[in-house]
Chain A
Amino acid sequence: MSITEILFWGLSALALFSAIMVVASKSPVHSILYLIVVFFAISGHYVLLNAQFLAIVNIIVYAGAIMVLFLFVVMLMNLNAESEPKKHRMMQFAGLISGGCLFLVIISAISDTQHASNMVQMSTGGDGLIKNLGKVLFKDYVLPFEISSVLFLSAMIGAVVIGKKESPPTPKGGDL
């Protein structure tokens, strides 16, 4: 077993375990922390695939910014204290079964295809490096890039409008 394979299996196991813990743990804070672990493991996979740029962006954006946002929300609202009421046992069971079925169906479908044993080139190729991606991004994809900045701006404004405290009732509309 080569070291690449060992790393792959290790990272996979970590990601899966953490993902299950995200779903299973009672406290939202624990869930968030496990999710950060999942993101780190996925970033590790990116590195194995020689996509360093994505690995870094994943850590910075997801594990860093987004998950901190989640943490803030949970902490500020003191949600951790709230004990989540149990769902219907039947409902939980149905969710588990249908999720499992979906997994089995997709796996069995894909394992039948002739492309299942195509090889993935790991640790090779310079396409995933920052220098290369930067060129592509600012040459071929400059318009989508600019548009995504507009998207960010509007998302920001939207978040501010939604999150504003108790806006005075508008003359026309009734209260919420």
Chain B
Amino acid sequence: MVWLIPVLPLLGFLINGLGRKQVSKTMAGVIGSGTVLASFVISLLVFMQLNGGNVPKVAFHYFDFINATALKIGFDFQIDQLSSVFLLIITGVGFLIHVYSTAYMHDEEPKDFAKYFAYLNLFVFSMLLLVMGANYVIMFIGWEGVGLCSYLLIGFWFKNTNYNMAAKKAFIMNRIGDLGFLLAVFWLISKIGSADYHTVFANVSKLSVTDITGITMLLFVGAMGKSAQIPLYTWLPDAMAGPTPVSALIHAATMVTAGIYMIARSNILYTMAPVTQTVVAIVGLATAILAATIALKQNDIKKVLAYSTVSQLGYMFLALGVGAYVGAVFHVMTHAFFKALLFLGAGSVIHAMSGEQDIRNMGGLKKYMSITHITFLLACLAIAGMPPFSGFFSKDEILAAAFAKNPVLWGVGVAGAVMTAFYMFRLYAMAFLGQFRGTHEQQHHLQESPKAITIPLIILAILSVVGGFIGIPEVFMHGGHKLEAFLTPVFAQSNALTEAHHLSHSTEYMLMGISVAAALAALVFAWSKFSKYQKTEKEEAGLGKVLANKWYVDELYDTIIVKPVLSIAKYFSNIFERKGVDGFVNGIGKAVNYGSRQIRLLQSGQVGAYVLMMVLGILLFFIIQLFL
């Protein structure tokens, strides 16, 4: 029955994709959402079974994918605690976003509407393949599949050149990461002879330190590409070119967490490679801070959320780097709830504002869209880490683990959290408080979105509020961290290798107090500063300008990578291709032509000449045979 989980969205993809000219909009929406809902129900059943400690079977073998004497790679699924958590997130949040999309994309042509749902279903299918695969190869199939769907959906409105450029950028950045992933898988297969998780993790002690560091580093390069970490993060903000529900599903809740899932899945490898762990932690933290600083000065509602996503992903990598795998998965889950909610809320706002995305032209939306306003506020509180919202628990767990590893990591992390609170409430205040700053016509159209949009918002808001209670820290309630208990079997091997850091309760209370207080201060400051925001023509200056321009990272990449590559390509296409390759090929043609024109003269038809040649030939044979 497990195989139904990915097959249903695939069916939806085939029906909507092949019949996109026949199906009506309602049909496409029902098929697209229904298949995902069915998958969600099955995932829920699977989860229930696992939660009840009733595990009949973990691995499912369907057929041999690769069978080459020594190397056997089966098309296998593995359903354990980790994948079931991800299954629930993907299908659950995915279903809500499908429902939301039926309203959001309603202005599209029926053909495009069906195409959109086909892509979305294909994405869900790939993502499910990614988390359900029982070996790295199946994971890689899903990994590539989600990359493709991301490309297709970012470029969904492909008539706009900029959107196409963003899609290409996302695809190429991902390819760089995928290469790292692929090399890591090759390395693993060459050393262990298998890509099955089970075999690999059982034989991990056979790997040398160099091997294991190299493999984990390359896997991390893959994760960098997919999960938008430094230096491959620049595609994610540009990916906001896609429809907003796509941003919510792919570029916030699910696909970008694939890197987290992969590292959490390979936790034992990372635990045994402390060097890589340090790198992961530092890269994660640096990304978290860098993206947060950029988000401070962005004015596009989706760009702020995009950089916030990058920043939160950085926190998850920080958690992975310090060995807090449960914390990372916990944060993936809560982040999926509140970030999807934020994006969907933003989508609702954009929908109401007739496509306007600049928060400087919004303001005062509280009056017009009460449901969107309240859910958005709840999400902002959650992401800012205000207790008792879900973000508080997961972020606090990560920061506590970071403190246990190194207080410096904690300090920087708290700084990031403060900035998060600031930019989120800047966004909230500018969009929903104060006076409306848009055009009169926009104001005329302002109204609450339809039910298909608000119901997912409400459900996600509830989840954002209560989602954290499955992971209540020990200090508050003994045995409160249900998620950790649930996931223990997955990380048992790693936990056996690391000594547990137990912070004293007082330290933990103090850490929480400091981070919450600092975030609260930032929140209040942002609220008071931006609720009376007035549009000014003043140009940003100094650091603000640098931040508004995203640290000029895009320009830097453009200068040091894109331009040299383009000029080399131009050289090759203009000089090397024309003169070198073409010259060579044409030269062969010309030489043969010329040569044959000369050799043709030998065919004079004169018998005497032929006989002379024959005699000379015989002479040559004699000389070779007798004297050489």
A87 → chain B closest CB, angstroms: 7
- Decide yes or no whether A73 CB sits under 8 A from chain B: no
Partner-contacting stretch, out of A90-98, A120-128, A131-139, A150-158:
A90-98
Q: Are A94 and B626 in contact (CB under 8 A)?
A: no
Closest chain B residue, CB of each to CB of A91: B608
Q: Are B615 and A105 in contact (CB under 8 A)?
A: no
- Decide yes or no whether B612 CB sits under 8 A from chain A: yes
Q: Are A95 and B622 in contact (CB under 8 A)?
A: no
Closest chain A residue, CB of each to CB of B615: A98
- Decide yes or no whether A102 CB sits under 8 A from chain B: yes
- Decide yes or no whether A99 CB sits under 8 A from chain B: yes
Measured CA separation A98–B627 after assembly (Å): 17
Chain B interface: which size bin?
Answer: 10 to 19
A110 → chain B closest CB, angstroms: 9
Q: Are A94 and B612 in contact (CB under 8 A)?
A: yes
Q: Are A101 and B608 in contact (CB under 8 A)?
A: no
A94 → chain B closest CB, angstroms: 6
Q: B residues within 8 A CB of A162?
A: none
Q: B residues within 8 A CB of A99?
A: 615
The answer to whether residues A98 and B608 also contact, given A105-B626, A109-B626 and a CB cut-off of 8 A, is no
- Decide yes or no whether B562 CB sits under 8 A from chain A: no
Q: Are B615 and A109 in contact (CB under 8 A)?
A: no
Q: B residues within 8 A CB of A87?
A: 608
Residues of B254-292 whose CB lies within 8 A of A: none
Closest chain A residue, CB of each to CB of B608: A91
Q: Are B622 and A98 in contact (CB under 8 A)?
A: no
Q: A residues within 8 A CB of B623?
A: 105
Q: B residues within 8 A CB of A91?
A: 608-609, 612
Measured CA separation A87–B612 after assembly (Å): 13
Q: Are B626 and A98 in contact (CB under 8 A)?
A: no
- Decide yes or no whether A159 CB sits under 8 A from chain B: no
- Decide yes or no whether B619 CB sits under 8 A from chain A: yes
The number of chain A residues with a CB under 8 A from chain B is: 11
What string of 1s and 0s marks CB contacts (under 8 Å) between B171-206 and chain A? 000000000000000000000000000000000000
A4 → chain B closest CB, angstroms: 31
Residues of B593-610 whose CB lies within 8 A of A: 608-609
Closest chain B residue, CB of each to CB of A105: B622
Q: A residues within 8 A CB of B609?
A: 91
Q: Are A95 and B626 in contact (CB under 8 A)?
A: no
| Most central of A87, A99, A102 by chain B CB within 10 Å | A102
Measured CA separation A101–B620 after assembly (Å): 10
- Decide yes or no whether B59 CB sits under 8 A from chain A: no
Measured CA separation A42–B627 after assembly (Å): 32
Q: A residues within 8 A CB of B517?
A: none
- Decide yes or no whether A106 CB sits under 8 A from chain B: yes
What string of 1s and 0s marks CB contacts (under 8 Å) between A77-111 and chain B? 00000000001000100110011011001100100
- Decide yes or no whether B209 CB sits under 8 A from chain A: no
Closest chain A residue, CB of each to CB of B622: A105
Q: Are B612 and A105 in contact (CB under 8 A)?
A: no
- Decide yes or no whether B618 CB sits under 8 A from chain A: yes
Q: B residues within 8 A CB of A102?
A: 615, 618-619, 622
Measured CA separation A91–B608 after assembly (Å): 8
B614 → chain A closest CB, angstroms: 10
Closest chain A residue, CB of each to CB of B623: A105
A91 → chain B closest CB, angstroms: 6
Measured CA separation A21–B585 after assembly (Å): 56
Measured CA separation A106–B625 after assembly (Å): 11
- Decide yes or no whether B616 CB sits under 8 A from chain A: yes
With A98-B615, A105-B623, A106-B622 known, 5 other A-B pairs at CB within 8 A are A91-B608, A98-B616, A98-B619, A101-B619, A102-B615
Q: Which 8 A-B pairs have the closest CB atoms?
A: A109-B626, A98-B615, A105-B622, A102-B619, A98-B616, A101-B619, A94-B612, A105-B623
Q: List 17 A-B contacts (CB under 8 A).
A: A87-B608, A91-B608, A91-B609, A95-B612, A98-B612, A98-B615, A98-B616, A98-B619, A99-B615, A101-B619, A105-B619, A105-B623, A105-B626, A106-B622, A109-B622, A109-B626, A109-B627
